[in-house]
């Protein structure tokens, strides 16, 4: 009986997440490193500065840590994601196309209906 209840909770949670995604809402924290901050880091790194030298000049604009500096790991993570987007633009385009298909069709491309068991 507990397994059935857990499965019902899981299914209703997935339905809620799907409904929210269709409305353009996505869970999770917003990124700490904004596009403007990333642009600043890239520009200053091209000028020869290290991330450690740049970090004290960056200020988080919103959220719980508003007004503080982002961590070095956040900056490095944002740089790695940027590098990955630059190296594999076709993967980014494919992900955007899959998301657009999900928005219009309501199912994940390449996945059969009813095969969402984990």
Q: What is the pLDDT of residues 16-60, one digit of tens each?
A: 888 888 887 877 777 889 999 999 999 999 999 999 999 999 999
Using alpha carbons only, give the angle 71, 89, 31 rounded to the nearest 5 degrees.
25
Q: In this predicted structure, what is the pLDDT of residue 84?
A: 86
HSE-CB at 50 with a 13 A cutoff on CA atoms is 3
Beta strands in 1-118 (DSSP E): none
Asked if pLDDT for residue 96 goes beyond 80, the answer is no
pTM beyond cutoff 0.95? no
Q: How far apart are CA 51 and CA 108, in angstroms?
A: 39
DSSP state, 84?
H
HSE-CB at 21 with a 13 A cutoff on CA atoms is 17
């Amino acid at each position: 009986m507990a397994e059935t209840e857990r499965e019902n909770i899981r299914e209703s949670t997935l339905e809620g997440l799907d409904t929210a995604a269709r409305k353009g809402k996505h869970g999770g924290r917003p990124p700490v490193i904004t596009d403007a901050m990333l642009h600043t880091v890239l520009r200053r790194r091209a000028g020869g500065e290290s991330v450690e030298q740049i970090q004290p000049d960056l200020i988080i604009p919103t959220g719980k840590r508003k007004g503080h500096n982002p961590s070095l790991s956040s900056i490095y993570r944002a740089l790695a994601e940027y590098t990955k987007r630059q190296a594999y633009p076709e993967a980014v385009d494919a992900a955007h196309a899959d998301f657009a298909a999900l928005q219009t069709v309501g199912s994940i491309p390449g996945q059969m209906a009813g095969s969402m068991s984990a």
